[in-house]
Amino acid sequence: MTTVEYGSQNGRRRVAITGLGAVTPLGNDVATTWQSLLAGESGAAPIAQFDASEFPVTFACELKDFDPTQWIERKHARRLDRFAQMIIAAARQAEADSGLEIAKEAERVGAAIATGIGGIGAFQDCYDTLIHRGADRVNPFSIPAIIPNMGAGWVSMELGTRGPLSSQCTACAASNMAIGDGADAIRLGRADVMLCGGTEAGITRVGIAGFGAMRALSRRNDDPARASRPFDAERDGFVMGEGAAVLVLEELEHAKARGAKIYAELLGYGVSSDANHITEPDPEGSNPARAMKMAFADAGVDPTEIGYVNAHGTSTPLGDASETRVIKLAVGAEVARRIPVSSTKGATGHCLGAAGAIEAIFTTLAVQRGKIPPTINYEVEDPDCDLDYVPNEARDADVRVAVNNSFGFGGHNASIVVRRYDGD
């Protein structure tokens, strides 16, 4: 048990962000991803993981040249679903970036790792084998490869964490919730360090066919790079993405005691539910707005202090108009029009359960580096979307406090507040 004397914010232990790791459609590390994002690049291209030529949607935002054996022993990697391979890679990057020595205090280090679907590729392979080759030919590693909690399980086993371990499975809000839950574990004294994030590998035959059948996906097969266009009047659905991201959260005094670099402070967390529809957002926007307000209250900040919102902004007709209403309800219409709002899903696509964590990294870097990433492919104004969406070009800005929104199927809503760290 640690003997560090802990600092507090409003009587609570404070939470610093001290490490970042990611594999995304824009790059297989944080630096490459961030550079590509600021440059306005798109990760969308024709699907390479399977032959999608007969599918209504033939493109997605896939990882490029991802080699899991950089992070995992080859024989072991073959037993894992892609969602587990990706989160191990992101977690190892985050651990290295933080400079932590987890083995020295493993019982005080935990993990909260989210996913929306889990091992859908392994499930698809298991079913194919069962139908075409018989029950006795099913891979004995199938179930551990499929179940959603094994993203968290493998992070714990690979990195040796022995503190709190959880797996959030709340659709597209999942990894924002993992970050908030991890912060709460630190605040409550259950851990000193939490590895928090999410992973998703849904670009499979089942994934593309299923979301395509819902008419949730853009069908701009002739122009993938311009298909994801959040808040644009001509948006026609989201682009499926994949990836993983991990943030190292650490009790502030613990981080300072070991001389860690501190990217930012995780200041507030809010959650709510819509109780409305299996896929459609709250039509009034009051419930996701409540999550934002809860995050502001938890952080102890006034809406006028918000310098940037990383929107959920999926590029769906209903979702983007709804989120515009949500932001106005949360901060007031006049204040909302002064806040830069961008959706980075124009570049990464929608990474489902990993989206919140990937975007939390973008939000963290925005406050640390004074750069707001753009909403790419924004060309035609929509009267229902009338905020400052940082169109097409990154923007220099002195952002002290920023918000990351994530809203998921089933009415799951989560917002986190990040503040620049300037010392005590």
3-state secondary structure 283-335: CCCHHHHHHHHHHHHHHCCCHHHEEEEECCCCCCHHHHHHHHHHHHHHHCHHH
Please confirm, yes or no, whether 312 is among the known catalytic residues.
yes
β-strand pairing of 193-200 with 109-114:
parallel
- 287-303 burial by CB neighbour count: b if 16+ within 10 A, else e? bbbbbbbbbbebbebeb
Q: What is the DSSP letter of 100?
A: -
Please answer whether residues 293 and 272 qualify as being in contact, where contact means their C-beta atoms are separated by less than 8 angstroms: no
**Helix locations, 15-146, DSSP H:** 30-38, 74-78, 82-98, 120-133, 142-146
| Cα distance between residue 306 and residue 416, in whole Å | 12
DSSP character for 206? H
Which residues does 299 contact at the CB level (< 8 Å), separation at least 6? 267, 268, 401, 417, 419
Active-site residue (options: 61, 126, 196, 312): 312
Active-site hit among 61, 126, 169, 172: 172
Residue 351: active-site member: no
Interatomic CA distance for residues 148 and 113, integer angstroms: 10
Q: How many Cα atoms sit within 13 Å of 334 on the Cβ side?
A: 1
* Nearest alpha-carbon partner for 375 in 420, 303, 320: 320
Residue in this structure with the two tokens 């970042």, named with its chain if needed: 20
Task: Select from 166, 162, 163 the least CA-distant residue to 180.
Answer: 166
Question: Which residue out of 61, 126, 254, 350 is catalytically annotated?
Answer: 350
* Encoded tokens for 214: 């819902």
Q: Give the whole-angstrom CA distance, residue 335 versus residue 296.
A: 14
CA-closest candidate to residue 346, choices 243, 221, 225, 197: 225
d(CA 346, CA 224): 11
Q: Which residues are catalytic?
A: 172, 312, 350
